Structure 1
């Protein structure tokens, strides 16, 4: 007797389930609704296949137990057999892009741009394992990570989600990240989702959701290539990208979704849309839905109007615009992902082995995050070997981000756009708290008014950007812009972070503080907290030492560890650091080339 392979078993089970499903059940599996617009009864009555939490969308008091209870209620509804209903377990999804940072008390890792500077794929795999364990603690099944964007323009508000502007660096992390998240697809793993397919980092002028106007050869060489190792590692899901490629939106791009991803690359998992991403294909919503599913979309992520989406999807099928063969293909992929993940064998969320685990936000998890912080720091300037500092030094700690865990975590932390206070980030340490723990003579004065060379040997000034995410992080010379939506009734028109990549124009208070302290004869160590390299020529010139700390996450202690010499500077730039704020800044010689970084110790 021939033994069936796991792939054959999954395929047979998926076909068996598919044959027993009504059209309503099939279409319900293709809908991913947002929790705030979805009840457990909705899951049962409409056969929903998945539910998600958008950024900042959390149940109850946003504690681990609240998440488990919510997921348990949704799962229970999905398994109802009332009125002959076919039970198919629900998947719950979150944006755990740098830790399970939607949840209070999570371990928050450095954003990808910092991890790219560590040049340490094994470390990144370990961070992904911790993230997966904390996701499992809340009873969640699916995370929309890793981001495999290759950002080509730092005006883009999602630059910090990119490991590097070099596709080879991004690719070096992809397989390990997927392994870290999915593990063996048993009780210790969650489903990974590589995003965004494809070209999100290559848009003209770095406009979020804009047009990537490049040849197919360049698209493949720069933006597709990091997906190859992720696919080889067994990646189960891919998210379509908001951007267009040469004027055609990726959400409706049959060539990219079906011919290339599913065909040539052999991807047999599911493709999920981004947040209301199909809406922009056409001003008629039904037409847009038909365009997306025929292009190869398997799951529709819908914020509010999921019932309307479901109704219009059915109309498209009944009118013959979307063939049943395409619906069956989509549902077969959805079922196969659930079967490969072992979802049908997993107990209810409340009874899973990792649910409510006290490892969530634990010291062991935070130590890995602290290591990631230490290795991600890049030393750009160090006159007279000022760093590392002595623990006995009289240190003045100043700057708006010195004692602000919200600033150092950045976007996609508790809230979509991030937080700006310490109180919002439960657990961890600010950079100041880390310094205070190691240097007893240190003093905090965020405004620096107490700076006195008779009292202070050195100043650490922590400056940079405030939190942002996606389009609201864009830097656009023209301010608000229309970003090429194909649906004039629903334009993209978010206010950007600013108009320039020059920090002194975005945050003049930073340069003013550095120069005021330096003018008193106190050496200044500037620590830059932000999601991308910015033009900081004046700030560099006024500082004796300058450190790029990126967005280090909840463990500011890791910054202090290196400043005070417990560990050496290790990181090298994953993006070139600009010299000029001109729109064509990449055509000029950078202030520091990619790969630059002063090492110590």
Structure 2
């Protein structure tokens, strides 16, 4: 099969790094590209990596100034510089006592704990932290703190800011210049909110689409990532040598996650890449040489491992390769408590990461303990003070380059507080261009382009849902719970349809929840797809779309049965097996996650912009589209490459093709119910859902925080090693928590002596006296009288307990034919505890009864 050519506008150094197949030669960057000798797993040969000359260079006067500053610093102040705290866990008052070098706002952190805080609240808080950090240093001298933010597809933290398509969509544009513009706009909008550092761009080259962060990668092809990296860094930071480099409208960029986060085995988030050193260099390292050439000032170490060793503690890659061979002179920051995942470390104790080359610990909620422990270790000789000084020097170097020492209060810097820039027409125009160019037309049997005079029936839960079309990392970490009103000036697909029909005689017909409608539509537009997710919560086992839930397919088939030509618009963070949906539609558009201006996708589907200019599909697949749900990993350079739609595929009005009827064998059972795993990683496992209730009714839990109607039961996400991977339940009166869904038959499991396993942790020393466990089988044959209180009261606060409770202790087998809630917890009074894992397990002697 002929594979389409991809854009080649990569830097000389990046190309040299990629051409590693040239045996026994030295590339233009000076790296020996011969096959490295066999080495022990996880060890590196720095000489085979490309050499990169920093375009900035060390300034003698600046280095002398850093030496003078460090001579005035106490050991406590040096330790403070290498620690970063989250604004959800530190206050300006804390910063007066603890001289930390940095703060961040994690995905769910915002001023006043409100993810919908306006930009003005961000500016006010930035000033408060700045003034507090000045007070911490007194009159002698002052080192400004630096604020990092996850602005990963625009400044996605602030309502009204421009939310661009996620990277998977930008990869489909093959337009590096557009990426530079997006980087510049994002930086400017960050500056409006008075921050100066973004944790972007992501340079992951994703090789297994089951990964929950697939949409954060531009492509499975490293050349695409390499072609974008430099443009993005220059857009975000400005050009090295220019008067506004790192200042003015620009901010500090972060190349992440170093390294091979997109190459983990089975696509598992924070997993292990088992590829060779040459493979991680040529594939996953492709974006770093051009990023370094463009002067990127920070690099984030990956959560993941390479050949069994966590990258956060990998001296060979962090120090010997990145800082040594590749010449990086900025600083390396960790990910969210990632240092605590090293075998020898905890979140509050990890000199190993510092010694490996980490310069700044991201210690969002562990900062206080880490600061105190690290200071003691530095005073006691456990930490190499030369390594500590090097880390501090690197951080100060970047702060000086960014002009922070002379910048004054954040609110006085550049465009800070110019809130009208968040609705700048030119920025919106770039976002709309990105949306139009990112769309990939997979199928068109003549139904597109649409007519302004058409009668269009619209359906699907994505047709008027800007939150869904924006995906994860939008106003919150997971991007859930957002409404259209959270995106002032934004545009849904329905908005786009109505805008075009207003230019003709067409009209819109709405459907109800069942898909029913009245009238005589000439065409149907159905917008549907994945619900928002981020990181490990998006990890999946196969590429099947919503296995066991055919509601979207049924909607398409309904219109098909009614004889209405149907356009399917699919929102997703990755390619998925969609053969049935493709067969049930006359046109199929992969719209990815287009962001706040997603309604302008309809320009392409109508074939014209508002001013009547013709517009065609331009997007082509930057990821291969699978033939079956289990065809993964699937990449353009596979030896036996056989996708459904190849890398680079994309139809247009000028380049039409008949797709035909596709086989509907997914390669895996799609109707299989999940009868064994109920709660994991902070969420109910599909198709189950979480419900909290009291005497006033029930509330389905769809966001990170929820409560029962009368407020007796509160549930919220919490962290245990990684973000939001557990849930905490707080009872203030009679209430219940359920994992509920379509009834399942557990009679066989009951007679087979199966048990409900759960991992539970008390969060208080008081209460927890009447917590009970059971299940709901729709009658009186099941009980809720297994006393979890026994476990909670005999476990120390903050420690996890594991317990398996026999199904037979919850009712007779005959009564478990229709179990609608396999997990049911009740309390009559006050209680507070967390859960992390609930599933059905075999009783191997560990199961008990608690009644």
So what's the TM-score if we normalise by structure 1? 0.92
Give the Cα–Cα distance (whole angstroms) in 2 for the partners of residues 50 and 80 of structure 1.
15
The alignment status of 1:298 with 2:359, answered yes or no, reads yes
The structural deviation recorded for 1:504 is 5.3
Match of 1:459 among 514, 524, 528: 524
SS across alignment from 1:360? helix
The root-mean-square deviation of aligned C-alpha atoms, in Å, is 1.8
Question: Cα deviation per residue 1:199-258 (whole Å; 9 max; x = unaligned)?
Answer: 000000000000000100001010011111000000000000000000000010000100
Match of 1:511 among 553, 561, 568: 553
SS across alignment from 2:111? coil
Q: Is the 8 A contact 2:339 2:347 kept in 1?
A: no
Structure 1 pair 243/40, CA: closer, same or farther in 2 (3 Å)? same
Structure 1 pair 18/585, CA: closer, same or farther in 2 (3 Å)? closer
Match of 1:475 among 540, 547, 550: 540
Match of 1:444 among 505, 510, 519: 510
User: Which residue matches 1:155?
Assistant: 210
Structure 1 pair 546/82, CA: closer, same or farther in 2 (3 Å)? closer
Match of 1:568 among 588, 593, 616: 616
Give the Cα–Cα distance (whole angstroms) in 2 for the partners of residues 67 and 195 of structure 1.
25
Q: Is the 8 A contact 2:349 2:374 kept in 1?
A: no
Match of 2:422 among 340, 360, 369: 360
Match of 2:75 among 13, 20, 23: 23
User: Which residue matches 1:325?
Assistant: 386
The alignment status of 1:589 with 2:589, answered yes or no, reads no
The structural deviation recorded for 1:286 is 7.6
User: Which residue matches 1:202?
Assistant: 263
Match of 1:44 among 96, 99, 114: 96
Q: Which runs of 4+ in 1 moved over 4 A?
A: 81-85
Match of 1:433 among 495, 504, 508: 495
The structural deviation recorded for 1:98 is 0.3
Q: Is the 8 A contact 1:570 1:600 kept in 2?
A: no
User: Which residue matches 2:465?
Assistant: 404
Structure 1 pair 555/507, CA: closer, same or farther in 2 (3 Å)? farther
Match of 2:370 among 287, 298, 309: 309
Structure 1 pair 517/69, CA: closer, same or farther in 2 (3 Å)? same
Give the Cα–Cα distance (whole angstroms) in 1 for the partners of residues 134 and 552 of structure 2.
55
Q: Is the 8 A contact 2:348 2:366 kept in 1?
A: no
User: Which residue matches 2:674?
Assistant: none
Give the Cα–Cα distance (whole angstroms) in 1 for the partners of residues 347 and 530 of structure 2.
41
The structural deviation recorded for 1:475 is 0.2
User: Which residue matches 1:338?
Assistant: 399
Question: Cα deviation per residue 1:497-538 (whole Å; 9 max; x = unaligned)?
Answer: xxx311152642111110111111001110000100100000
User: Which residue matches 1:390?
Assistant: 451
User: Which residue matches 1:379?
Assistant: 441
Q: Is the 8 A contact 1:149 1:223 kept in 2?
A: yes
The alignment status of 1:553 with 2:595, answered yes or no, reads yes
Match of 1:423 among 473, 485, 494: 485
Kindly name which structure, 1 or 2, has the bigger radius of gyration based on alpha carbons: 2
Give the Cα–Cα distance (whole angstroms) in 2 for the partners of residues 68 and 502 of structure 1.
44
Question: Cα deviation per residue 1:564-596 (whole Å; 9 max; x = unaligned)?
Answer: 111211100000001111264626611100100
More helix by share: 1
After TM superposition, the structure 1 = structure 2 runs for residues 91-240 of structure 1, keeping only pairs within 5 Å, are 91-183=146-238, 184-240=245-301
Give the Cα–Cα distance (whole angstroms) in 1 for the partners of residues 490 and 510 of structure 2.
18
Q: Is the 8 A contact 1:579 1:585 kept in 2?
A: no
The structural deviation recorded for 1:7 is 1.9
The alignment status of 1:349 with 2:416, answered yes or no, reads no
Structure 1 pair 416/277, CA: closer, same or farther in 2 (3 Å)? same
Question: Cα deviation per residue 1:406-426 (whole Å; 9 max; x = unaligned)?
Answer: 100000001110034323333
Give the Cα–Cα distance (whole angstroms) in 1 for the partners of residues 141 and 526 of structure 2.
60
Structure 1 pair 506/102, CA: closer, same or farther in 2 (3 Å)? farther
The structural deviation recorded for 1:80 is 2.8
The structural deviation recorded for 1:38 is 1.1
Question: Cα deviation per residue 1:322-342 (whole Å; 9 max; x = unaligned)?
Answer: 210000000000000001111
Structure 1 pair 25/585, CA: closer, same or farther in 2 (3 Å)? closer
Give the Cα–Cα distance (whole angstroms) in 1 for the partners of residues 648 and 641 of structure 2.
17
Structure 1 pair 286/582, CA: closer, same or farther in 2 (3 Å)? closer
The structural deviation recorded for 1:298 is 0.5
Match of 1:55 among 107, 115, 124: 107
User: Which residue matches 2:86?
Assistant: 34
Give the Cα–Cα distance (whole angstroms) in 1 for the partners of residues 377 and 321 of structure 2.
25
User: Which residue matches 1:534?
Assistant: 576
Give the Cα–Cα distance (whole angstroms) in 2 for the partners of residues 131 and 446 of structure 1.
38
Structure 1 pair 284/269, CA: closer, same or farther in 2 (3 Å)? closer
The structural deviation recorded for 1:448 is 6.4
Give the Cα–Cα distance (whole angstroms) in 2 for the partners of residues 431 and 43 of structure 1.
45
Structure 1 pair 17/585, CA: closer, same or farther in 2 (3 Å)? closer
Where does the alignment leave 5 or more consecutive residues of structure 2 unmatched?
Answer: 1-55, 239-244, 609-614, 635-639, 655-851
SS across alignment from 1:549? strand
The structural deviation recorded for 1:104 is 1.2
SS across alignment from 1:260? helix
Q: Number of residue pairs matched?
A: 573
Q: Is the 8 A contact 1:366 1:428 kept in 2?
A: no
Where does the alignment leave 5 or more consecutive residues of structure 1 unmatched?
Answer: 477-499
